[in-house]
Amino acid sequence: MKADIGQPPLLSVRGLGKTYRVGEIEIHALRGVDLQVAAGELLVLLGPSGSGKTTFLNILGTLDLPSSGRILFRGRELTDLDERARTHFRRHHLGFVFQFFNLMPSLTARENVALVTEIATRPMAPEEALQMVGLGHRLDHFPAQLSGGEQQRVAIARAIAKRPELLLCDEPTGALDSATGIVVLEALRQTSREIGATTLIVTHNAAIAAMADRVVRFADGRVVSVTRNPQPVEPAALSW
Amino acid sequence: MRTLHRKLLRDLWRMRLQALAIGLVIGSGIAVFIMMLGAMASLEATRDAYYAQSRFGQLFVHAERVPAAVGEALERIDGVVAAETRITGFATLTFADFVEPVTARLVSVPERGGPVLDRLVIRQGRGLAPDGRDEALVNEAFAEAHALRPGDRILANINGRQRRLSVVGIALSPEFVYAIPPGALLPDDRRFGVLWLSRSTLEAAFDLEGAFNDAVLFLAPAADPEAVRAAVDRLLEPYGGLGAYDRSIQVSAFFVDNEIRQLRTLAAVLPSVFLVVGAFLLQAMCRRMVDTEREQIGVLKAFGYADRTIATHYLTLALLIGLLGVVLGLLAGSWTAGRITELYTQFFRFPLLRYRLEPWVYAVATALGLLAAVLGAWRAVRAAGRLPPAQAMRPPPPPAYRRRGVLGLAVRGILDQPTLMLLRHLLRWPLRSGLAILGIAAALALLLAAMQWRDATAYLVQKEFFEARRMDFTVGFFDPLAPAVVPQMARLPGVLRVEPRRSLAVRFRNGNRVKRGSITGLAPQGRLRRVIDVEKGPVLPDDQGVLLSRTLAAILGVGRGGRIIVETLEDRRRSVELPVSGLFSTYLGIPAYASIALVDRLSGIGDRVGGVDLTIDPARRNAFFRALRESPEVAAVASREARIRAFETTMAETIDIVVAFYVAFALLLTFGTVFNTGRIALSERGRELASLRLLGYSALEASYVLVGELVLMALLALPLGLALGWLLAVWIIATVDNELFRMPLVVFPTTMAWALLAVMAAALVTALALARRVFRLDLVAVLKSRE
Ligand SMILES: Nc1ncnc2c1ncn2[C@@H]1O[C@H](COP(=O)(O)OP(=O)(O)O)[C@@H](O)[C@H]1O
Ligand SMILES: [Mg+2]
């Protein structure tokens, strides 16, 4: 547990709401979410499909704008940023991992990572990042030549290579079988720890919650509970 | 950013065929542009340089007999810098190895120093010697046709006297860049030549000692040509002046200018067809690309790539395709422009006509190609830039197909499901389908407009040289002769029928509309030269009025039954008011006809015959030719058959080549459009088609969904293409509407059938080539991946 008393939280979310309008219908994806995240924490956001987890993560990542509420990152208002500033914020502070990996099919593993390191300020070498996820031997393979788990590890390498402060992962194991999923989570846990990134993992898989410092439960666009894990386990010990 | 560039190049390589197809379409546009404008610019630059170097006159005038002293008065006219007076006429030539009659135009050259205006370029041999009696220079095309070289001799009948001329040199003149026999449209270098003889030789031959009958004037830049012309006409009026005219209707200059004008108009319109279609294809491709890569775009944005960077990424891709088109177009265009310019050297005799790379043409072509690419890609590029990342990361909703009226109800149970699928897809993107149909239609239109030239020429030959003219030969005399010449000609060996003809130079006047021209008087019961009225069919000229060609009537603003004033410019000058007894259509010149009796009356000097039309017994051709050579009164002979052959040769040697280029470009357009549309459909429907296979459809049945859609589009494009082709042809034909000739608008059914077949075949072959990919679909991959 690293959230020391007195130190301001890395991330502070207040009353976050998001309403989608589809024709006549209004969909309340988020209905007022409050959350504080301390630097270096690993959070698992747990909730059934459709509960608003992805929406929440996207807004944190400035990929989407909230309908109401505020987000403070190191005390800075994220919701007020213009497009330029949002791009800058993502470029220098954020790492993303997606459910479907979202690698560039036309680029090799190394190039997929380089795509991000090239525009970062103090990145590690793409090779180093791939080494960290155990893919040092797969540098020049194209996504189509990699298994799902390997692709997701490339995505993790891509996300951590720029040493982001905040790592946002949306269902990183959602498209993988459990054994592969665990390997991926190990890579994620180890690398995020190594670079000291604050990490948010969104999942509907309750088994993953055990590796978190804190577990945030979502339902129907709200945070229904936040529980602290006294003893987070290593991903290798998980099973589902 | 280097990695992003790498993605760009790999994407481009993956889509290389599609990129190539679009590149070919844009490239065709660039190539056509360069082909037309490059040839135009070369021709124009050569023309301007040559005219300036050789001091080509700006005003020309012919008269009967003008005392030499008047020549100085011509130079004193305000605005005239120099006047070249000379003697011109016609002669018939005899060659030992060429039995047919040969006509030559004669032009005098001053005894000393050569002409000041319309200077000659000596290509071989030398100029005329100061005392060069019976020395001659011949024009290059004629020399080539008869393999004449300096030192050769020519037997000429000049004004009734046989002279043996010796060729001392081969020359070019700005007056005869396009050297055609009188009244013809195309050169006939074996039967028509230009001979330059010394002034004294021609003075003696035409009994014009101390006089001239022709003048060329060079004007000061600030001169008012109209004022000079009026002054010249006033000055020469007493000496049988036929009225001065400027360079715009000097025959050779007219044809050169006409060609340049036409190239320029075509260059403004035809390439844009390709560029617009290319831009549309690029737009569809980029759109599809941004759609399929939306998640990639989302990721890039999530990792901090700016919107502008993403937009630039796709714009660069489009620009690279545009650049590919530009490069292909510049290469193909330079080559075809070179070939076209080479074709022009067969007609236009300049000292040096070579395809010259004009930098501005290339710069404009490049700019046009890239502009097409940018405009084409613009919407997709903007969409990529603006795509909100969160939305990009979510899969797009499945395309919303609709059961449109007809397809929803009436045809249920009639159409099978695959057919329904292809129809729905076609209707799902009406704009894209519409543009694809338009692209194919544009290809067909181009094909028709290009192939139409053959038909137009064939039709013109049919109308003018088979229906309106039925003589075998047209003979002109040095001077109008007494009617007794007609039976005399009839007695020549092989002659079957002779009809007299007499032309009178006149000025037509209707109110303040004035036009210089001539009236040709025809035999009362003539059958060899028919005047065909558009409304009444063939008409015989009467003794009361004149028959005007429609173009002439339009210039004068008069219709059938109207009245015009005819001022004769030859013999006894007089001014007579005559009724217009009929109008007729012709594609050649702006003639007027009357009965020979009326023309005799107008001339005021009694019955004369200026020439005859005749038919002969083909078996006795050679005897007829020999007899003709011995007829001293014959100044010029034209063979109808030779004119027809000139059309056919031109067709085979030039028009067909140009048409072939267009056919090639039009087929590329079809291929490019069908390939791209098909490729995009395949990318959108790969899943569906694979699913069909999983459901037990054969690859052939599945590919029907794709091929059927493309073929249906091509079929829909056909009527539209016919209509557009018609419009394009109307427009192209309208660009050749002038006093010397016009082109008919006709498309023969066979031409139409060939054009339709060619487009359908190109579309079908392309569709089938794409269908092969349906056979290679990876069914398992489809199940795994999500759209
Ligand atoms: N772009 C959108 N337009 C309309 N509704 C949306 C959009 N994105 C998400 N939603 C809706 O918002 C709700 C929350 O979605 P999401 O955040 O994806 O949930 P989760 O990630 O927890 O499954 C769902 O009902 C979803 O359908
Ligand atoms: Mg989700």
Distance A64 CA to ligand 2 centre (A): 14
**Alpha-carbon distance values, B34 to B9, B30, B44, B281 (Å):** 29, 6, 14, 22
User: What's the average model confidence in pLDDT over B238-244?
Assistant: 90
Cβ separation B298–A119 shorter than 8 A: no
Cβ separation A63–B306 shorter than 8 A: no
Q: Which pLDDT belongs to residue B245? A: 92
**In B, which residues are within 8 Å of A104 by CB distance?**
7, 296, 299
User: Token digits for A14?
Assistant: 């207040």
| pLDDT score of B400 more than 70 | no
Confidence of residue B1 (pLDDT cuts 50, 70, 90): low
| pLDDT score of B84 more than 50 | yes
User: Token digits for B259?
Assistant: 């060609």
ipTM: 0.80
What gap in Å lies between CA B259 and CA B266, rounded to an integer?
11
A34 Cβ under 8 Å from any chain B Cβ = no
Instruction: Please count the residue pairs, one from chain A and one from chain B, whose beta carbons lie less than 8 angstroms apart.
Output: 85
Cβ separation B3–A102 shorter than 8 A: no
B4 Cβ under 8 Å from any chain A Cβ = yes
Cβ separation A158–B7 shorter than 8 A: no
For B505-532, how does the pLDDT look when each residue is reduced to its tens digit (9 = 90+)?
999 999 999 998 999 999 988 889 989 8
| pLDDT score of B406 more than 60 | no
Phi and psi angles of residue B123, each rounded to the nearest 5 degrees, phi first: -90, -30
Cα end-to-end distance, chain A, whole Å: 26
Neighbours of B72 (CB within 10 A): 10
Output the pTM of the full model: 0.82
Cβ separation A102–B296 shorter than 8 A: yes
For residue B302, give the nearest of A90, A104, A119 by CB distance: A90
B388 Cβ under 8 Å from any chain A Cβ = yes
**Which residues lie below 8 Å from residue B72, measured CB to CB, with a gap of 6+?**
none
Structural domain boundaries of chain A? 39-63+86-229
B723 Cβ under 8 Å from any chain A Cβ = no
A189 Cβ under 8 Å from any chain B Cβ = no
User: Token digits for A146?
Assistant: 């990699």
B7 Cβ under 8 Å from any chain A Cβ = yes
For every residue of A100-118, DSSP letters joined together read: T----TTS-HHHHHHHHHT
Q: Where are the beta strands (DSSP E) in chain A?
A: 11-22, 25-37, 42-46, 68-73, 76-77, 94-97, 166-170, 198-203, 214-219, 222-228
Distance B450 CA to ligand 1 centre (A): 58
**Alpha-carbon distance values, A121 to A78, A97, A164, A204 (Å):** 20, 20, 10, 34
User: What's the average model confidence in pLDDT over B358-377?
Assistant: 93
**Mind telling me how many Å the CA of A231 is from chain B's nearest CA?**
33
Q: What's the one-letter identity of residue B76?
A: R
| Closest B-chain CA to A91 | B304
For B264-290, how does the pLDDT look when each residue is reduced to its tens digit (9 = 90+)?
888 888 899 999 999 999 999 999 899
Query: Which helix (H) or strand (E) element contains residue B506?
Result: strand B495-510
For A81-100, how does the pLDDT look when each residue is reduced to its tens digit (9 = 90+)?
888 888 889 889 999 998 88
| pLDDT score of B131 more than 50 | yes
Cβ separation B296–A104 shorter than 8 A: yes
Task: Assess contact for A116 and A123: CB atoms under 8 A.
Answer: yes
Q: Which pLDDT belongs to residue A4? A: 47
Smallest CA-to-CA distance from B146 within B195, B185, B198 is with B195
**Mind telling me how many Å the CA of A224 is from chain B's nearest CA?**
24
Q: At what angle do helices B656-694 and B16-53 cross, to 10 degrees?
A: 170
What gap in Å lies between CA B210 and CA B204, rounded to an integer?
10
| pLDDT score of B60 more than 90 | yes
What gap in Å lies between CA B500 and CA B597, rounded to an integer?
11
What gap in Å lies between CA B707 and CA B149, rounded to an integer?
64
For B576-587, how does the pLDDT look when each residue is reduced to its tens digit (9 = 90+)?
999 999 999 888
For A151-210, how does the pLDDT look when each residue is reduced to its tens digit (9 = 90+)?
999 999 999 999 999 999 999 998 889 999 999 999 999 999 999 999 999 999 999 999
Query: Which helix (H) or strand (E) element contains residue B85?
Result: strand B80-86
| CA A96 from centroid of its chain's CA atoms | 5
**Alpha-carbon distance values, B382 to A140, B211, B297, B314 (Å):** 33, 78, 12, 9
Mean pLDDT of chain B: 89
What gap in Å lies between CA A94 and CA A88, rounded to an integer?
10
What gap in Å lies between CA B526 and CA B472, rounded to an integer?
14
Beta-sheet pairing, B98-109 with B192-198: parallel
**Mind telling me how many Å the CA of A89 is from chain B's nearest CA?**
7
Beta-sheet pairing, B192-198 with B135-139: antiparallel
**In B, which residues are within 8 Å of A102 by CB distance?**
295-296, 298-299, 393
What gap in Å lies between CA A11 and CA A77, rounded to an integer?
10
Q: Which residues pair with A77 in a beta bridge?
A: A72
Task: Assess contact for B685 and B425: CB atoms under 8 A.
Answer: yes
Q: Which atom of ligand 1 is nearest to the CA of A21?
A: 4
B302 Cβ under 8 Å from any chain A Cβ = yes
Farthest-apart Cα atoms in chain B, separation: 103
Place of tokens 């930098």: B359
Our mutation pick for probing the ligand 1 site, out of A27, A45, A46, counting the most ligand atoms within 8 A of Cβ, is A27
CATH code for the part of the protein at A39-63+86-229: 3.40.50.300
* Sign of the Cα pseudo-torsion (A210, A213, A218, A224, in order): positive
Q: CA angle, B652 as apex, B94 and B182 as ends, to 5°?
A: 40
The residue whose C-alpha atom lies closest to atom 25 belonging to ligand 1 is A50
User: Token digits for B331?
Assistant: 């290469």
Task: Assess contact for B174 and B350: CB atoms under 8 A.
Answer: no
User: Token digits for B765?
Assistant: 């072959």
Place of tokens 């003149």: B173
Q: Which atom of ligand 1 is nearest to the CA of A170?
A: 21
Q: Which atom of ligand 1 is nearest to the CA of A49?
A: 23
B327 Cβ under 8 Å from any chain A Cβ = no
User: What's the average model confidence in pLDDT over B377-405?
Assistant: 78
Q: Which pLDDT belongs to residue B356? A: 82
Distance B781 CA to ligand 2 centre (A): 24
Q: Which residues pair with B614 in a beta bridge?
A: B473, B498
Task: Assess contact for B402 and B312: CB atoms under 8 A.
Answer: no
Q: Which residues line ligand 1 (CB under 6 A)?
A: A 20, 22, 27, 29, 47, 49-55; B 391
**Alpha-carbon distance values, A214 to A211, A217, B449 (Å):** 9, 10, 76
Query: Which helix (H) or strand (E) element contains residue A186?
Result: helix A178-195
User: Token digits for B125?
Assistant: 């041999």
Query: Which helix (H) or strand (E) element contains residue B636?
Result: strand B634-639
**Which residues lie below 8 Å from residue B270, measured CB to CB, with a gap of 6+?**
B32, B33, B36, B446
Q: CA angle, B447 as apex, B446 and B453 as ends, to 5°?
A: 95
Ligand lying nearest the CA atom of residue A174: 2
Q: C-alpha dihedral over A44, A50, A56, A62, to 10 degrees?
A: 120
A100 Cβ under 8 Å from any chain B Cβ = yes
User: What's the average model confidence in pLDDT over B241-255?
Assistant: 92
Rg (CA), chain B: 33
The residue whose C-alpha atom lies closest to atom 14 belonging to ligand 1 is A52
Q: Which atom of ligand 1 is nearest to the CA of A221?
A: 14
Q: What's the one-letter identity of residue B694?
A: L
| CA B530 from centroid of its chain's CA atoms | 28
| Closest B-chain CA to A95 | B303
Confidence of residue A8 (pLDDT cuts 50, 70, 90): confident
Q: Which pLDDT belongs to residue B693? A: 77
| pLDDT score of B416 more than 80 | no
Q: How many CA atoms lie within 13 A of A52 on its CB side?
A: 25
Cβ separation A107–B10 shorter than 8 A: yes
Cβ separation A87–B7 shorter than 8 A: no
* Sign of the Cα pseudo-torsion (B175, B177, B181, B186, in order): negative
A114 Cβ under 8 Å from any chain B Cβ = yes
Mutate to test the interface with A, among B1, B2, B3, B778 (most CBs of A within 10 A): B3
For B200-237, how does the pLDDT look when each residue is reduced to its tens digit (9 = 90+)?
999 999 999 999 999 999 999 999 999 999 999 999 98
User: What's the average model confidence in pLDDT over B767-785?
Assistant: 75
Ligand lying nearest the CA atom of residue A48: 1
Q: B396-400, B524-528, B580-584, B694-698 — which is least confidently predicted?
A: B396-400
| Closest A-chain CA to B309 | A87
Cβ separation B304–A90 shorter than 8 A: yes
Confidence of residue A73 (pLDDT cuts 50, 70, 90): very high
Cβ separation A119–B303 shorter than 8 A: yes
What gap in Å lies between CA B51 and CA A121, rounded to an integer?
68
A160 Cβ under 8 Å from any chain B Cβ = no
| pLDDT score of A3 more than 70 | no
| Closest A-chain CA to B392 | A63
| pLDDT score of B787 more than 50 | no
The residue whose C-alpha atom lies closest to atom 4 belonging to ligand 1 is A20
| pLDDT score of B175 more than 60 | yes
Our mutation pick for probing the ligand 1 site, out of A21, A26, A49, A55, counting the most ligand atoms within 8 A of Cβ, is A55
Mutate to test the interface with A, among B10, B303, B386 (most CBs of A within 10 A): B303
**In A, which residues are within 8 Å of B10 by CB distance?**
106-107
For B727-761, how does the pLDDT look when each residue is reduced to its tens digit (9 = 90+)?
999 998 888 888 888 888 999 999 999 999 999 99
What gap in Å lies between CA B495 and CA B626, rounded to an integer?
12
**Which residues lie below 8 Å from residue B400, measured CB to CB, with a gap of 6+?**
none
The residue whose C-alpha atom lies closest to atom 8 belonging to ligand 1 is A55
The residue whose C-alpha atom lies closest to atom 27 belonging to ligand 1 is A50
Beta-sheet pairing, B513-522 with B495-510: antiparallel
**H/E/C letters for each residue in B664-691?**
HHHHHHHHHHHHHHHHHHHHHHHHHHHH
For residue B304, give the nearest of A92, A102, A111 by CB distance: A92
Our mutation pick for probing the ligand 1 site, out of A20, A56, A57, counting the most ligand atoms within 8 A of Cβ, is A20
Cα end-to-end distance, chain B, whole Å: 28
